[in-house]
């Protein structure tokens, strides 16, 4: 380890002794640092007892030991341990006393007054330069950190004692993800999975011809996001396509989709892109894409002041004979090929004239800021999405109170909106049977006697991140199902541009019920249920205890289903 330290680490470290000429250094957000108390005097005969060692981010946080050191075992050492072991060598002639690693978390939102700034894009780009050095909000130190050192750090960052967290082990567990790339243990990895081409689409068939026959769904990542890219690629290459409009929230820094939009401009098509510049931690990528598209002649719109544009839609306008026809793509997730392999989402392709007319109206509204006309099928936040969801729940509550059977099944990422929670609790008390599949935060108490006895909450945590939003309502024999970009949170309902739209085709609706709702309600492998005590418990206790590999996992079942469909399609082509 000494050899590694001398070769890889020491040349990048510069300890900073604190004195009037060397004040406390600027420490970046969530960077690894050490604070050291020294005894003795420095080279100039002064007693400056505190020194700071900043550990560069370019160094790996976990180092695998070579076989000659590990004795054939798989052995890793944390970078922090290597630095700690060599602290004394950094201060020749001084004695190292108390020390601790530490990490400060800073406020990272780009705070700009959108009403006041003349150019939001310029203001955000300037703000990006200072993001890593915003106001400190949390200080993490080692569990053994001396009280005097912790108090010194709190004072330097102007933090109260409540902001101090003593951590047992590494201060940044996220960096342990590097272990995945350092291990050659196939039995510890998920088996490889290759998403199938969307089953409702045929390779080589024109998307325009296909959508004239009816809508199509893509269930990602079980089916490939390439279907969406192929749709856009055909639109770009088709000389009859006159205009393409798209919202951009998170696409990533390297995006074929953005390259296709650039090619569309080059081919003379009217391209309008609504870019959300304040998509957190994607601001720089979105600013770069916006500037690139503007520079070649695309119409770039930055949404509505004070509201994040979180809706996901792509609209293509095509000349067919003497009329114009629209083709649309709506999604519960982002136009990001990388996350499309990791997140479960639904893509909805349609030529429905009412639905695509609604999409056109939303694009015009975002670009012009004119009043939104009444939409045919869509619900849009912050206007009527919240109100309509509550009204739909209340209608089922009234039906149940009158003796009718009523059912609600909702799948989303988070449920924290108080008004929607109140509506669900009221519906439960009136006799509506409610299942909530909520991956993350849920502030609705389930299974509480005389309050939420009819509500079951479960969270499915598996190989993929559950991201699709599906809202199902049934009264008697009448059912409706909506897809959406919005979670049931106050911010989504009242402070963002969000969309929810109905799936009217019975066959598509049945497929969504089967794959997105029923499969997850019967998951016996990856599901957790919320108890009346507010604690989640594994649905399959045997698996939780490691006593068996049985149980049904929704994600595994869907992977198997689509893998078999892909093999059947390949066999039929042969």
Can you give the pLDDT at residue 327? 98
Nearest-angstrom CA–CA distance, 200 and 102: 53
- Is the residue at 193 inside a domain? no
pLDDT at 574 over 70: no
- Average pLDDT in the 531-536 region? 93
Number of domains in the chain: 3
Can you give the pLDDT at residue 362? 95
DSSP codes, 341-354: GTEEEEEEEE--HH
Residues 266 and 232 in one domain: yes
Nearest-angstrom CA–CA distance, 120 and 283: 11
Residues 493 and 525 in one domain: yes
Determine contact, residues 498/384, Cβ cutoff 8 Å: no
- Average pLDDT in the 308-314 region? 90
User: Per residue in 448-502, pLDDT tens?
Assistant: 998 999 999 999 999 999 999 999 999 999 999 999 999 999 999 999 999 999 9
pLDDT at 354 over 50: yes
Domain of residue 69, residue span: 2-186
DSSP codes, 426-494: HHHHHT-EEEEEESS-B-SPPS-TTTSTTEEEEEE-SSSEE--EEEEEEETTEEEEEEES--BSHHHHH
Respond yes or no: is residue 310 known to be catalytic: yes
- E strands within 249-403? 270-275, 299-301, 308-309, 313-320, 323-331, 343-350, 379-381
- Average pLDDT in the 144-166 region? 95
Can you give the pLDDT at residue 545? 46
Determine contact, residues 411/520, Cβ cutoff 8 Å: yes
- Is the residue at 509 inside a domain? yes
Predicted TM-score (pTM) of this structure? 0.84
Q: Could you give the angle at which helices 283-295 and 256-266 cross, rounded to 10 degrees?
A: 20
Nearest-angstrom CA–CA distance, 218 and 198: 6
User: Per residue in 245-302, pLDDT tens?
Assistant: 998 877 765 678 888 998 999 999 999 988 876 655 556 666 777 777 888 888 888 7
- Is the residue at 202 inside a domain? no
Least confident of 140-149, 283-292, 316-325, 401-410: 283-292
In which residue are the tokens 């699709």 written? Answer: 468
- Of the candidates 219, 310, 365, 386, the residue annotated as catalytic is 310
Other Cβ atoms less than 10 A from the Cβ of 540: the count is 18
User: Per residue in 98-129, pLDDT tens?
Assistant: 999 999 998 766 555 555 444 555 655 555 45
Structure tokens at 468: 């699709």
CATH code of 9's domain: 3.30.1840.10
> Is the four-CA dihedral 366, 370, 374, 376 of positive or negative sign?
negative
Percent of the chain with pLDDT over 90: 64
Ranges 12-16, 55-59, 555-559, most confident: 555-559
> Is the four-CA dihedral 482, 204, 228, 315 of positive or negative sign?
negative
Can you give the pLDDT at residue 26? 86
Residues 51 and 6 in one domain: yes
Which of 340, 373, 406 is the last residue before a domain boundary?
373
- Banded pLDDT at 379 (limits 50, 70, 90): very high
Can you give the pLDDT at residue 546? 47
Q: Which residues are CB-neighbours of 142 under 8 A, at least 6 positions away?
A: 100, 101, 102, 166, 167, 171
Which of 314, 341, 373 is the last residue before a domain boundary?
373
Average pLDDT, the chain: 88
In which residue are the tokens 């050291």 written? Answer: 36
Strands 343-350 and 216-220 turn out to be antiparallel
- Average pLDDT in the 403-410 region? 97
Residues 224 and 77 in one domain: no
Mapped onto helix, strand or coil, the DSSP state of residue 159 is: coil
Residues 30 and 167 in one domain: yes
Least confident of 249-263, 418-432, 507-521: 249-263
| CA-to-CA dists, residue 355 to 5, 24, 349, angstroms | 62, 59, 11
Half-sphere exposure for 63 (CA within 13 Å, toward CB): 19
| CA-to-CA dists, residue 182 to 64, 71, 185, 190, angstroms | 7, 17, 9, 16
CATH code of 349's domain: 3.30.870.10
Can you give the pLDDT at residue 544? 46
């Amino acid at each position: 380890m000494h050899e590694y330290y001398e070769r890889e680490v020491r040349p990048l470290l510069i300890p900073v002794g604190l004195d009037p000429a060397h004040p406390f250094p600027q420490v970046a957000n969530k960077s690894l640092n050490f604070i050291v108390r020294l005894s003795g005097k420095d080279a100039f005969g002064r007693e400056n007892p505190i020194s700071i060692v900043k550990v560069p981010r370019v160094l790996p946080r976990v180092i695998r030991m070579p076989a000659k050191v590990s004795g054939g075992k798989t052995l890793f050492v944390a970078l922090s341990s290597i630095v700690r072991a060599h602290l004394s060598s950094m201060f020749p002639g001084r004695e190292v006393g108390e020390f601790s690693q530490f990490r400060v978390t800073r406020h990272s939102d780009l705070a700009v007054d959108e009403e006041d700034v003349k150019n939001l894009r310029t203001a955000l780009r300037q703000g990006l330069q200072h993001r890593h050095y915003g106001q400190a909000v949390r200080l993490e130190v080692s569990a053994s950190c001396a009280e005097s050192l912790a108090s010194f750090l709190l004072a330097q960052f102007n933090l109260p004692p409540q902001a101090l967290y003593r951590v047992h082990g590494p201060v940044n567990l996220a960096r342990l993800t590097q272990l995945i790339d350092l291990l050659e243990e196939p039995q510890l990895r998920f088996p490889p999975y290759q998403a199938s081409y969307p089953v409702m689409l045929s390779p080589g068939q024109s998307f325009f011809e296909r959508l004239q026959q009816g809508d199509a769904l893509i269930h990602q990542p079980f089916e490939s996001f390439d279907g969406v890219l192929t749709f856009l690629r055909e639109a770009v290459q088709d000389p009859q396509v006159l205009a393409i409009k798209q919202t951009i929230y998170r696409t990533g820094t390297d995006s074929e989709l953005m390259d296709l939009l650039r090619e569309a401009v080059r081919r003379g098509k009217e391209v309008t892109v609504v870019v959300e510049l304040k998509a957190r931690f994607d601001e720089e990528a979105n600013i770069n894409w916006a500037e690139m598209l503007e520079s070649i002649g695309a119409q770039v719109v930055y949404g509505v002041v004070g509201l994040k544009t979180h809706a996901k839609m792509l609209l293509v306008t095509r000349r067919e004979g003497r009329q114009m026809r629209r083709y649309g793509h709506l999604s519960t997730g982002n136009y990001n090929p990388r996350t499309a392999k990791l997140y479960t989402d639904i893509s909805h392709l349609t030529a429905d004239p009412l639905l695509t007319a609604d999409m056109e109206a939303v694009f015009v509204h975002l670009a012009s800021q004119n009043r939104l006309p009444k939409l045919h099928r869509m619900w849009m936040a912050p206007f009527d999405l919240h109100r309509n969801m509550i009204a739909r729940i209340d209608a089922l509550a009234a039906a149940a109170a009158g003796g009718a059977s009523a059912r609600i099944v909702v799948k989303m990422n988070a449920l924290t909106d108080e008004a929607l929670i109140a509506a669900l609790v009221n519906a439960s008390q009136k006799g509506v049977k409610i299942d909530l599949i909520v991956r993350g935060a849920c502030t609705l108490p389930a299974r509480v006697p005389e309050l939420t006895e009819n509500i079951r909450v479960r969270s499915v945590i598996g190989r993929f991140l559950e991201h699709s939003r599906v809202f199902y309502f049934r009264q008697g024999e009448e059912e409706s199902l909506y897809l959406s970009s919005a979670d049931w949170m106050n911010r989504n309902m009242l402070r963002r541009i969000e969309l929810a739209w109905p799936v009217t085709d019975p066959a598509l609706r049945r497929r969504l019920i089967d794959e997105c709702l029923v499969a997850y309600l019967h998951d016996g492998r990856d599901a957790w249920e919320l108890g009346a005590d507010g604690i989640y418990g594994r649905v399959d206790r045997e698996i939780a205890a490691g006593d068996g590999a049985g149980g049904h996992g929704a994600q595994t079942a869907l992977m198997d289903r689509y893998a078999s469909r892909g093999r059947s399609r390949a066999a039929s082509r042969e």
